[in-house]
């Protein structure tokens, strides 16, 4: 069974609490339920992890890779725009990653329009809400 890790970055544990016009009203737990349901259909094993700390996310990219993960879905949130460390961590695994953003980062503030980590990914899905994660899982399941 293919193993995929889903990593979420800073403040995504606050989903559903504020800014529903941008991120919707559902929570990170709701996202997990949605993705788990799709994983079941696809016959894929999924692991979820969220942290507000850049170094912890780097460590978890390494740990998931070392323990047999075959691909990543990443939403490093604000670190997507700044983190060479997370870019390099993904690259260091040699594994396929798809970056997901709930909102459309190209249509938001200038500082969100560039992703530092997308260059280490085989694809990016932005602005599709939670279904973006489901689509990313489908794509990785086919690789």
Say how far apart CA 22 and CA 141 lie, in whole Å.
28
Token pair for 2: 């293919």
Choose one: 51-59, 65-73, 74-82, 117-125; the region binding ligand CA2 (CB under 6 A). Answer: 74-82
Nearer to ligand CA2, 51 or 103 (CB): 103
Minimum distance from CB of 1 to ligand CA2 (Å)? 27
Minimum CB separation of residue 112 from ligand CA2 in Å reads 4
Alpha-carbon distance 69 to 65, whole Å?
Answer: 5
Closer to ligand CA2 at the Cβ: 27 or 36? 27
Among 51, 83, 103, 117, binds ligand CA2 (CB under 6 A): 103
Q: Answer yes or no whether residue 105 interacts with ligand CA2 by CB under 6 A.
A: yes
Subset of residues 28 to 67 that bind ligand CA2, contact rule: CB under 6 A? none
18: contact with ligand CA2 by CB under 6 A? yes
Non-local (6+) Cβ contacts of 132 within 8 A are 100, 101, 102, 125, 126
* Footprint of ligand CA2 (CB under 6 A): 11-12, 14-15, 17-19, 23, 75, 77-78, 80, 101-103, 105, 112
């Amino acid at each position: 069974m293919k193993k995929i890790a889903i990593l979420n970055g800073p403040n995504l544990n606050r989903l559903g609490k504020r800014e529903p016009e941008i991120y919707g009203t559902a929570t990170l737990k709701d996202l997990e339920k949605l993705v788990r349901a799709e994983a079941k259909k696809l016959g894929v094993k999924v692991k979820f992890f969220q942290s507000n700390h850049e170094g912890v996310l780097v460590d978890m990219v390494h740990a998931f890779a070392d323990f047999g993960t075959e691909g990543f879905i990443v939403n490093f949130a604000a670190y997507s725009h700044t983190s060479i460390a997370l870019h390099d961590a993904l690259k260091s695994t040699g594994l396929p990653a798809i970056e997901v953003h709930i909102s459309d980062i190209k249509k938001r503030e200038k500082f969100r329009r560039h992703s530092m980590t997308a260059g280490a990914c085989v694809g990016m899905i932005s602005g599709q809400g939670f279904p973006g994660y489901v689509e990313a899982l489908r794509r990785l399941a086919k690789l």
